[in-house]
A and B are shown apart, each in its own frame.
Chain A
Amino acid sequence: MSIGAKKLLLVGDNPFHGISHLSQERVRDRGNGITTASCAAGLVATSVKSGANGFMFSVSDTTLSVLRMLKSPKSRPLDLYALVPYAYEYVRLATHAGGLSGLFKQFAGQIAFSGNFKAAALGLKGILTTDLQELIKAYLAYEISRIKSSAKKNGILRSVLLHEIITDMSLALNIDWLFRSHVEFISEFGIIPGFETRNFSYLVKKFKEWDIDFSKILIATPFNKVGFQMNPSKAECEKALTEISDSNIVAMSILAAGYLKVSEAVEYMDCLPSIKGVVVGISNEKHATETFSFLRNRVLNKSCL
């Protein structure tokens, strides 16, 4: 699948999981309503009406329920950008399962009985040969099938991105084969492979070293005026961006988790070269309408990006 020239204006799901990088107190003030699938689905719908042209989400029970509730706009299904695995959920499950090995056993069982033949076959092969690469493929096939069966015709899975924890840990441990394997395997499905990272300049350096083609992948990473989560520094991330002209970067945290106003965010984005799109999490109807109306005017219709 070609990434194409379309600018991406994506609604993100962090608030639906009860996460705020500005203040956890703010999450509790919002209450539990936003973490229910029906409320989250309503916010996605409002965002789309206001200008969002895709949904980026971590694959969890909540977001899969949101996909089931999506109503396809008359014109076309919603573009979906999935982050896997939903690491925070798996950390919680690992706690309950008695550690990583307990989680692994539990998860292998889920894949085996998922009814997805490709995932189960790859998983079985992986277990019999103790081949981690095959097990990862089994997991990815399982997640893709869950997404597709939840979204049905109301959404099209455009990209599967490796979650930041896996991306960044693999970068640090020099697991280059994992990146190559992800690109190759996800591409086989006609889906764009992607990576989420909070260490953008480190990723650029490593991917250049490993000869990974930036033009064929999507990268989601923080870019914002105050340098929030831009490591090791805002300047280094901006410099790395200039070093990869043929790339597809989706800027995350453009509001620095609510620290910045959307107008300030766009002002900064105007100055950056070659950004493919933005993803913004929204926490209420008003926020969804205001944010995406503003971004639509600036990102899709005007100069920004």
Chain B
Amino acid sequence: MKAAVVGAGKMGLVHASILNTLPNVELVAFCDKSAIIRRFLAAIVGETRVFAEVERLVDLDADIIYVTTPIPSHYSVVKEIYSWRKPVSIFVEKTLASNYDDSLKLCDLARDSKRANMVGYMKRFAVTFEKARELLNQDAIGQVCSFRAHAYSSDFFGLKEALKMSSNRGGVLSDLGSHVIDLALRFFGNFEVQSSGEASVTGIQNAVSFKVRTDNQIEGTFDVSWCKEGYHVPEFGFSIQGSKGKIKVDDDVVEFETSSEGSFRWHKHDLSDNVGFLLGAPEYYREDDYFVKSILNGIGGEINFSNASKVDYIIGKVVGGTSVS
């Protein structure tokens, strides 16, 4: 399969590299708006083509296109690719779009294309979160009553210019929060926002908390910040309370405790965390491998545009419900 990557930033390079190690995949093109990046990419990647405009990919007959540009451009880039009416499968780095309306339009285009599509919610492929889901599916803690989710980083901790600098990443909810929103949808099903807390001025949030209630009446709380001290590496996690016990899970560890069975702890070391090629985090390899295999096997992936649009719906509800100016 021929693959192209639009947007040669950090995530574009990670996905391109991993794709190039997968059997059956050949990286044929990069596309990036920056002249500096294009110049150096051309020196690095040899036979792989490098373009400035996404339109230039049309004649390459790529089977897969990865869209890893900044979130605000996802809609226009993906719409452009679908307008070619070519048999191409599309992977978009999270979030699908910068608002729910655009997400829905992309879902319609994806449905018409009849090709595979996926959004990069890589935390679904973390072994600890997968273990937590397995425990939940086994009703290991009985009926879930409530959960608390967090997503923290120190990316903008202590920076006076945080708001201005963070605008490139589309706000903390899209950047960090979207992962835990996606995981919560996977763990507990659909939910609605009940109330939301602080959001900053200018529409680009730095720290947000909000409450939700699922269709099954589970109460949930989210706390998201990229100005938190002590989170050199971003951390995502859940504390889940059930009728028979509780589960605490983050990127590194799963802890499970019930009154009848005692307590258990699994580090990622215990959960087969090795991958075919490790770059950045094992989850990136697993999600790319999953997408390629789902295309080869002709089956629709679980993290398709339709499911991913639910995250954009929640983000829209939270941002819309706060006093953002």
Query: Is there an interface contact between B267 and A168, defined as CB atoms closer than 8 Å?
Result: no
A175 CB contacts on chain B under 8 angstroms: 44-45
Summed over the interface, the residue pairs from A and B with CB atoms below 8 Å come to a total of: 117
A143 CA to B278 CA, complexed, in Å: 26
Q: Which of B119-127, B129-137, B247-255, B315-323 forms contacts with chain A? A: B247-255
A192 CA to B277 CA, complexed, in Å: 26
B280 CB contacts on chain A under 8 angstroms: 165
A100 CA to B34 CA, complexed, in Å: 9
Query: Is there an interface contact between B17 and A169, defined as CB atoms closer than 8 Å?
Result: yes
Query: Is there an interface contact between A24 and B36, defined as CB atoms closer than 8 Å?
Result: no
Q: A260 CB to closest chain B CB, in angstroms?
A: 9
Among A22, A101, A173, A228, contact of B17 (Cβ-Cβ < 8 Å)? A173
Residues of B37-59 at the interface with A, using a CB-CB cut-off of 8 Å, are 37, 39-40, 43-46
Q: Which of A51-59, A91-99, A152-160, A290-298 forms contacts with chain B? A: A91-99
Q: Beta-carbon contacts of B1-39 to A below 8 Å, as 1s and 0s?
A: 000000011100110111011000001000000101101
Residues of A115-137 at the interface with B, using a CB-CB cut-off of 8 Å, are 130-133
Query: Is there an interface contact between A25 and B17, defined as CB atoms closer than 8 Å?
Result: no
Which residue on B lies nearest to A233, using beta carbons? Answer: B274
A173 CA to B42 CA, complexed, in Å: 12
B274 CB contacts on chain A under 8 angstroms: 227, 229-234
A27 CB contacts on chain B under 8 angstroms: 230, 232
Query: Is there an interface contact between B9 and A22, defined as CB atoms closer than 8 Å?
Result: no
Among B10, B27, B273, which residue has the most Cβ atoms of chain A within 10 A?
B10
A234 CB contacts on chain B under 8 angstroms: 274
A92 CB contacts on chain B under 8 angstroms: 155
Among B8, B43, B232, contact of A18 (Cβ-Cβ < 8 Å)? B232
A232 CA to B282 CA, complexed, in Å: 10
A164 CA to B216 CA, complexed, in Å: 45
Which residue on A lies nearest to B276, using beta carbons? Answer: A232
Residues of B223-245 at the interface with A, using a CB-CB cut-off of 8 Å, are 230-233, 235
Among A101, A174, A230, contact of B46 (Cβ-Cβ < 8 Å)? A174
A202 CB contacts on chain B under 8 angstroms: 21, 277
Query: Is there an interface contact between A229 and B278, defined as CB atoms closer than 8 Å?
Result: yes
Residue A261 CB within 8 A of the other chain: no
Query: Is there an interface contact between A231 and B275, defined as CB atoms closer than 8 Å?
Result: yes
Query: Is there an interface contact between B9 and A99, defined as CB atoms closer than 8 Å?
Result: yes
Given A96-B159, A256-B269: A172 touches B277 (CB 8 Å cut-off): yes
A228 CB contacts on chain B under 8 angstroms: 269, 273
Question: Interface size for chain B: under 10, 10 to 19, 20 to 34, or 35 or more residues?
Answer: 35 or more
Residue A104 CB within 8 A of the other chain: yes
Which residue on A lies nearest to B38, using beta carbons? Answer: A101
A22 CB contacts on chain B under 8 angstroms: 252, 267, 269
Query: Is there an interface contact between B17 and A24, defined as CB atoms closer than 8 Å?
Result: no
A198 CB contacts on chain B under 8 angstroms: 278
Query: Is there an interface contact between A24 and B233, defined as CB atoms closer than 8 Å?
Result: yes
A95 CB contacts on chain B under 8 angstroms: 155, 165, 168-169
B278 CB contacts on chain A under 8 angstroms: 168, 198-199, 229, 231
A144 CA to B280 CA, complexed, in Å: 25
A94 CB contacts on chain B under 8 angstroms: 10
Q: A205 CB to closest chain B CB, in angstroms?
A: 11
Query: Is there an interface contact between A19 and B232, defined as CB atoms closer than 8 Å?
Result: yes
A172 CB contacts on chain B under 8 angstroms: 17-18, 20-21, 277, 279
Q: Beta-carbon contacts of A64-107 to B below 8 Å, as 1s and 0s?
A: 00000000000000000000000010011011101111001100
Query: Is there an interface contact between B275 and A232, defined as CB atoms closer than 8 Å?
Result: yes
Query: Is there an interface contact between A24 and B37, defined as CB atoms closer than 8 Å?
Result: no
Residue A110 CB within 8 A of the other chain: no
Which residue on B lies nearest to A230, using beta carbons? Answer: B274
Q: Beta-carbon contacts of B148-186 to A below 8 Å, as 1s and 0s?
A: 000000010001000001001100000000000000000
A169 CA to B13 CA, complexed, in Å: 8
A98 CA to B46 CA, complexed, in Å: 27
Query: Is there an interface contact between B13 and A25, defined as CB atoms closer than 8 Å?
Result: no
A98 CA to B280 CA, complexed, in Å: 20
Q: B254 CB to closest chain A CB, in angstroms?
A: 11
A residues engaging B (CB < 8 A)? 17-19, 22-25, 27-28, 32, 88, 91-92, 94-96, 98-101, 104-105, 130-133, 165, 168-169, 172-175, 178, 198-199, 202, 226-234, 256-257, 259
Known pairs A100-B9, A172-B17, A202-B277 / 19 extra A-B pairs, C-beta < 8 Å: A18-B233, A24-B252, A27-B230, A88-B232, A91-B10, A94-B10, A99-B9, A100-B34, A101-B37, A104-B36, A132-B44, A165-B280, A169-B14, A169-B279, A173-B45, A174-B20, A174-B46, A199-B278, A226-B269
B residues engaging A (CB < 8 A)? 8-10, 13-14, 16-18, 20-21, 27, 34, 36-37, 39-40, 43-46, 155, 159, 165, 168-169, 230-233, 235, 250-253, 267, 269, 273-280
Could you write out 20 A-B pairs with CB less than 8 Å apart? A24-B233, A24-B235, A28-B230, A88-B232, A96-B159, A98-B165, A100-B8, A101-B34, A101-B37, A104-B36, A132-B40, A132-B44, A172-B277, A175-B45, A202-B277, A227-B274, A229-B274, A231-B274, A232-B276, A259-B267
6 A-B pairs closest in CB distance = A172-B17, A18-B232, A132-B43, A101-B34, A23-B252, A198-B278
